[in-house]
Amino acid sequence: SELSGLSYNHPIYNDQQKYPIVISDHVTDELGTGFVHIAPAHGSDDFLLSIKHNLQCVNAVNLTGHLNCPSIESLHGRNALDTSDGIQAILKHLNSDVLHHYEFIHSYPYDWRAKKPILILGSQQWFIDTTRLRDNARKYIVDNVTIFPEGAEKSFLSMTAQRPYWCISRQRCWGVPIPAFYTKDDRKELVINEEIIEHLIKCVQQKDSIDFWWSSDDIKELLPASMHNQAENLERGKDIFDVWFDSGSSFNSVLK
């Protein structure tokens, strides 16, 4: 805590920028030195810490698992998980700044299907602001829902009150698409409105399937006639709805 507020120079980027030292409860000095790097785009604790301290969130690894640091030619594009490639390149770049290194076996997340290591990356997603729903949900549960066993009601209500933002988007090759378009320029501005949604509803009714969102070669087919002049500057979104949001909203629509 005595170092809180101090700054340091980054050993890899070797720039003139000052980087802050921050304190967090999820890091202690009971194991190791008590000093760890912060990678906001590659872990939930670090991401929340970056929000608290207004730190920049940048993916140091791209979607193919390669280092993303174009300002350092010797590192950019290296395989992040290959000990003979990316890791060795980083050690070589640090050179005299490395005091000691040795092989160490530690816990690391693996995909249970592919049996391969996982890289956590920051990405743009769709969220529902659950803070606007909590009070109504709690009141409805108290007034209308009987919870068994009785002792579970308190913990259930507590869980509801602390519910974080709900991420409703997924990146899959199947599912119900989120009906959004983006500009093709670097800004990737979101384009979505009621007219687009109403047009897509009619398309689903006519085709009896949502597959056309993925299979259509002409993006004009996905847009209302009033937006055909914008078609060449737009690209369809690739995100789908979380299946729980999909099934829940479908159920609600059927009841209406």
Q: Judge whether 234 and 181 are in contact, CB under 8 Å.
A: yes
Q: DSSP secondary-structure letter at 221?
A: G
Q: How far apart are the first and last CA of the chain?
A: 56
Q: What is the pLDDT of residue 211?
A: 93
Q: Judge whether 133 and 210 are in contact, CB under 8 Å.
A: no
pTM listed for this prediction: 0.80
Give the H/E segment covering residue 190: strand 190-191
Q: What is the pLDDT of residue 96?
A: 78
Q: What is the pLDDT of residue 91?
A: 87
Q: What is the pLDDT of residue 30?
A: 82
Residue 121: helix, strand or coil by DSSP?
coil
Q: What is the pLDDT of residue 40?
A: 95
Residue stretches of the chain with pLDDT short of 70: none
Q: What is the pLDDT of residue 28?
A: 83
Q: How far apart are CA 154 and CA 136, in angstroms?
A: 17
Q: What is the pLDDT of residue 35?
A: 87
- 128 to each of 122, 131, 133, 166, 174, how far by Cα in Å? 18, 9, 9, 5, 21
Q: What is the pLDDT of residue 80?
A: 94
Q: What is the pLDDT of residue 62?
A: 93
What is the arrangement of strands in the sheet containing 181-183, beginning at the earlier edge strand? 190-191, 181-183, 234-236
User: Which segments of 95-152 does DSSP mark as H helices, in order?
Assistant: 134-144
Q: What is the pLDDT of residue 228?
A: 98
